[in-house]
Amino acid sequence: MKYAKIITWLGLLAMSAGLLNGFINGDFFIDGAALFENPWGVMSLIDLYVGFVLFSLWIVYRESSKISIFIWVLAMMILGFFTACIYILIALYTSDGDWDYIFHGKKGKIS
């Protein structure tokens, strides 16, 4: 559990630094346009959003409130794996060391 928290905190810090750098030094529309002109840029976006959707499926499975699901999935689509890091940290810190809770939420253990 300790290593999962460390890795997730490092991911959140890296995502925070990257987002800050992008907002401070980048131009979303100019840089985004350049990304769409490059076939590997397009492929990277496809790969990224497939990951967002797959992670969101886990959120949909794990959460019980439709409002909570909507907010988390929307945040996932806008902020990406920055949101995932926060979501996982919350799961880790509220799990009381129970990996089943981390993966399944209030749905409990799978038999």
pLDDT digits (tens, 9 = 90+) for 60-89: 999 989 999 999 999 999 999 999 999 999
Q: What is the DSSP letter of 85?
A: H
Q: In the predicted model, what is the mean pLDDT of residues 16-43?
A: 92
CA distance 94 to 88: 10
Contact at 8 Å (CB) between 15 and 81?
yes
For the chain, the distance separating the N- and C-terminal CA atoms, rounded to the nearest angstrom, is: 22
Mean pLDDT computed over every residue of the chain? 92
Confidence of residue 108 (pLDDT cuts 50, 70, 90): low
**Is 110 a residue whose pLDDT tops 60?**
no
Closest CA to 9 of 86, 77, 75: 86
Give the best-scoring range by mean pLDDT among 2-6, 27-31, 106-110: 2-6
What totals of helices (H) and strands (E) does the chain contain, helices first?
6, 0
Could you tell me if 8 and 81 are in contact, meaning their C-beta atoms sit under 8 angstroms apart?
no
87 against 107, higher pLDDT: 87
